[in-house]
Amino acid sequence: MATQKKSPPVRGLEGVVAGDTEISYVDGDNGELYYRGYHLDELAGKVSYEELVYLLWYGKLPNKKELEAFASFLTNNMKLPPEIVEIIQLAPPRTNLMTLLRTCQSALGMFDPDGGKISEEANNRKSVRILAQNAAIVAAIHRLEVGEKVLSPSAKMGFAENFLYMFFGRKPNKLDVQVFDCLLVLHADHGLAASSFAARVTVSTLAGMHSAITTALATLKGRLHGGANTRVMQMLEEIDSPTSVKKYISTMLSDGKKVMGFGHRMYKVEDPRSRHLRKYSQKLVSRPGVANLYEISQRIEKQVMQEKGIFPNIDFYSATVQHALGIPKEYFTCIFAVARTAGWIAHIREQFADNRLIRPTSRYIGGYGNKFVPIDKRE
Ligand SMILES: CC(C)(COP(=O)(O)OP(=O)(O)OC[C@H]1O[C@@H](n2cnc3c(N)ncnc32)[C@H](O)[C@@H]1OP(=O)(O)O)[C@@H](O)C(=O)NCCC(=O)NCCS
């Protein structure tokens, strides 16, 4: 066997610039996030999700007329082919909901009237359908899970309101819509996150948008990415009381375990999205169980900061906020996916607009000169 040359490992592509983008910028050193040049604080709580999606896709905030047309186009597309509803019904009990969402999204590609087309016009129509239908799938999964019928969107409601209505089966109150709308805005895009990169790799081969969104959903599922928010809730429930935080977190850290909802590849300081979500969870403390979760969260934050010097990321307070809205924890990552679909589509469109196959190089650290041994002579 030839000797192997060992070089220092290259792991996780940290710091590698893998492409140019105008969509969003994560300034990890200063804890800032920009969407199309607008600082997050300029937009969060001021724009609706539809406005932000328009900005991410078309590079400018819409005027009133553009927004109205875009929002109603989105609402009109929040409907599912009956076959997708059947797929949801056929899923075995306890199927992971991100697996189900990914499967439905993949299947939607077969029912899309523009399936197989990658022209700009087809992609414009598909962008809206995919965004609207991803939300409709998640709402439908919940309706069927609680034994209720799948609802159609209301033409009188915006995206966030329609989602909550189609998910819970009742008209949501104003505060819930406001908070959920902002939650979607905060999750909408984040530089070259693993799922956005994965989506870009897929479309760079000229596979279509449904394939790329399926890839992105598969990538978001993992607990080092979007799957962390469900785990945060599990942890908060396990801790149960503020007085149990100290021991629980100390044990986790001394066992070398990662505290879910903390740390980030890009941010060396506080994640600016978590600042907004902390504020919202504080605003909702009067809701059942939220004061306890908020107190536990505050203590965890303080301790992880003191012992590890790391900050909460978007998934930490997102768990409490979603819980306060009445969303079951199994759906948290799906909600992240609904919001991030805007960013994925923006990346897909940007990639299509100036495509070149993404095909990096690996550093070969294996051996050379091996001699073939026939099977009956091998040990
Ligand atoms: C997000 C994440 C995957 C980034 O990973 P990364 O850039 O590869 O960073 P690493 O995993 O190499 O961590 C660097 C150091 O910080 C520590 N660290 C990072 N996140 C940590 C966490 N959540 N809890 C405890 N320690 C953590 C690591 O143990 C490591 O310490 P060491 O150098 O002493 O070994 C990582 O912080 C993590 O696993 N967080 C928990 C999952 C999560 O919340 N994901 C959602 C991200 S939005």
Same domain, 117 and 191: yes
Whats the size of the chain, residue-wise? 379
Distance CA 248, CA 241 (A): 11
**Same domain flag for 259 and 334:** no
- Catalytic machinery residues: 264, 315
Q: What is the pTM of this model?
A: 0.94
Half-sphere exposure of residue 198, counting CA atoms within 13 Å on the CB side? 17
Pocket lining: 308 vs ligand 1, CB cutoff 6 Å: yes
Give the residue from 194, 186, 292, 287 showing the smallest Cα distance to 236: 292
Average pLDDT of the segment spanning 253-280: 95
Residues 248 and 288 in one domain: yes
Q: Are residues 146 and 55 in the same domain?
A: yes
Alpha helices in 146-289 (DSSP H): 159-168, 174-187, 194-204, 209-220, 228-239, 245-254, 272-283
Could you give the dihedral angle defined by the CA atoms of residues 287, 326, 272 and 203, in that order, rounded to the nearest 10 degrees? -170
- Per the DSSP assignment, residues forming a β-bridge with 33 are 26
Residue 116 has a pLDDT of 86
Tokens of 89: 């019904």
pLDDT at 66 > cutoff 50 = yes
110 close to 134: Cβ distance less than 8 angstroms? no
Tell me, what CATH number does 282's domain have?
Answer: 1.10.230.10
- The greatest distance separating any two alpha carbons of the chain, rounded to the nearest whole angstrom, comes to 77
Any atom of ligand 1 within 6 Å of the Cβ of 315: yes
Residue 188 and residue 292 share a domain: no
Closest C-alpha to 209, from 341, 59, 82:
341
Q: Would the CB of 246 count as within 6 Å of ligand 1?
A: no
Task: Look at residue 373 and tell me if it is in a domain.
Answer: no
Has residue 7 got a pLDDT over 90? no
- The preferred substitution site among 221, 258, 269, 307 for testing ligand 1, maximizing ligand atoms within 8 Å of CB, is 258
Asked whether residue 175 falls in the same domain as residue 248, the answer is: no
pLDDT at residue 17 tops 60: yes
Band the pLDDT of 112: cuts 50, 70, 90: very high
Identify whether 360 is part of a domain: no
Residues 249 and 342 both lie in one domain: no
List all residues 6 or more positions away from 1 whose beta carbon is below 8 Å from its beta carbon. 367, 370
169: Cβ contacts below 8 Å, ≥ 6 apart: 143, 148, 151
Say which residue the tokens 């026939």 belong to. Answer: 374
* Cross-strand partners of 38: 35
Inside any domain, residue 359 = no
Task: Measure Cα distances from 103 to 90, 95, 153, 307 in Å.
Answer: 12, 11, 22, 41
Q: How far apart are CA 219 and CA 151, in angstroms?
A: 29
pLDDT tens per residue across span 126-137: 999 999 999 999
Element (H, E) at 131: helix 120-145
**Percent of the chain beyond pLDDT 70?**
98
Q: How far apart are CA 153 and CA 356, in angstroms?
A: 38
**Which pLDDT score is estimated for 88?**
98
Residue 366 falls inside a structural domain: no
Task: Check whether residue 53 and residue 102 sit in a common domain.
Answer: yes
pLDDT at 323: 96
With a cut of 70, say whether residue 3 has pLDDT above it: no
> Of ligand 1's atoms, which has the minimum distance to the CA of residue 316?
44
- Of the residues 306, 324, 342, the one at which a domain ends: 324
Residues 297 and 344 in one domain: no
Report whether pLDDT(345) > 80: yes
Out of 324, 340, 364, a domain closes at 324
CA of 310 to the centre of ligand 1 (A): 9
- Please give the torsion angle defined by the CA atoms of residues 133, 136, 138 and 143, in that order, rounded to the nearest 10 degrees: -150
Q: Does the residue 371 lie in any domain?
A: no
Pairing of β 24-27 and β 38-39: unpaired
Pair 307, 339 in one domain: no
Among 32, 33, 64, 30, CA closest to 47: 64
Residue 2 pLDDT exceeds 50: no
Is 375 within a domain? no
Q: Domain boundary at 304, 324, 344, which?
A: 324
The stretch 195-223 carries a mean pLDDT of: 97
Two structure tokens written together for 162: 């329609």
Ligand 1 geometric centre to CA of 225 (Å): 11
Q: Give CA–CA dist 267/190, Å, rounded.
A: 11
Residues 30 and 106 in one domain: yes
Residue 8 has a pLDDT of 66
The answer to whether residue 377 is domain-embedded is: no
Ligand 1 pocket test: pick from 262, 300, 303 the residue with the most ligand atoms within 8 Å of its Cβ: 262
Where residue 9 falls among pLDDT bands split at 50, 70, 90? low
The pLDDT > 90 percentage for the chain reads 94
Residues 50 and 167 in one domain: yes
Is residue 367 assigned to a domain? Answer: no
Domain count across the chain: 2
- Judged by DSSP in three states, 171 sits in coil
Instruction: Specify the pLDDT at position 115.
Output: 87
Ligand 1 atom closest to the CA of 313, numbered from 1: 48
Residue 10 pLDDT > 90, yes or no? Answer: no
Q: Indicate if ligand 1 lies below 6 Å from the C-beta of 262.
A: yes
Output the domain CATH number for residue 191.
Answer: 1.10.580.10
Q: What is the DSSP string of 250-268?
A: HHHHHTTPPPTTB--SS-S
Above 70 in pLDDT, residue 5?
Answer: no
Residue with the nearest Cα to atom 1 of ligand 1? 264
Range of the domain at 305: 228-324
pLDDT tens per residue across span 351-368: 999 999 999 999 999 999
Q: Mind listing the pLDDT tens digit for each residue in 367-376?
A: 999 999 999 9
Q: Is the pLDDT of residue 4 over 90?
A: no
